[in-house]
Amino acid sequence: QSALTQPPSASGSPGQSVTISCTGTSSDVGAYNYVSWYQQHPGKAPKLMISEVTKRPSGVPDRFSGSKSGNTASLTVSGLQAEDEADYYCSSYAGSNIFFVFGTGTKVTVL
């Protein structure tokens, strides 16, 4: 099972928006509304930011939002702040044989 495809990098100035894509197949992203997004700062464990495509856990700012169209999911960070600079990974449930697959990761830089 190949990893989901994400752009290696994305950037924006403070206050701007950045959108990260996560492309899978009809067997994972396209088959289920079970895409999650994780933020990882250097040397730290990942943190859940979005579950089930659009759901924000308690404590996650509403600047973070998720969506999906076909085999591609997206994470949008609005009103970029310095602390948003991190690596972001998507993940999708991929059925009862593969189970879960992660994306390749995107490094977000706040200019």
Partner 1 sequence: EVQLVESGGGLVQPGGSLRLSCAASGFALSDHYMDWARQAPGKGLEWVGRTRNKANSYTTEYAASVRGRFTISRDDSKSSLYLQMNSLKTEDTALYYCVRRVFVAFDIWGPGTMVTVSS
Which of the stretches 12-20, 63-71, 72-80, 103-111 binds partner 1 when contact is defined by CB under 8 A?
103-111
Longest dimension (CA), the chain: 42
* Least Å from the CB of residue 32 to partner 1: 8
Judged by CB under 8 A, the stretch of 9-17, 19-27, 41-49, 68-76 that binds partner 1 is 41-49
Q: Tell me the C-alpha distance between 33 and 11, whole Å.
A: 27
Identified binder of partner 1 from the candidate list 2, 13, 26, 45, rule CB under 8 A: 45
Query: In terms of DSSP H, where are the helices of the chain?
Result: 95-98
Instruction: Work out whether 74 is an interface residue with partner 1 (CB under 8 A).
Output: no
The span from the CA of 100 to the CA of 111, in Å, is 33
- Shortest distance in whole angstroms from residue 46 CB to partner 1: 5
- Of 99, 91, 3, which Cα lies nearest the Cα of 47? 91
Residue 49 tokens read as 């930011």
42 lies in the binding site for partner 1 (CB under 8 A) = no
Select from 23, 21, 4, 10 the least CA-distant residue to 85. Answer: 10
- The contact set with partner 1 (CB under 8 A) reads 1, 3, 32, 34, 36, 38, 44-48, 51-52, 57, 89, 91, 93, 98-105
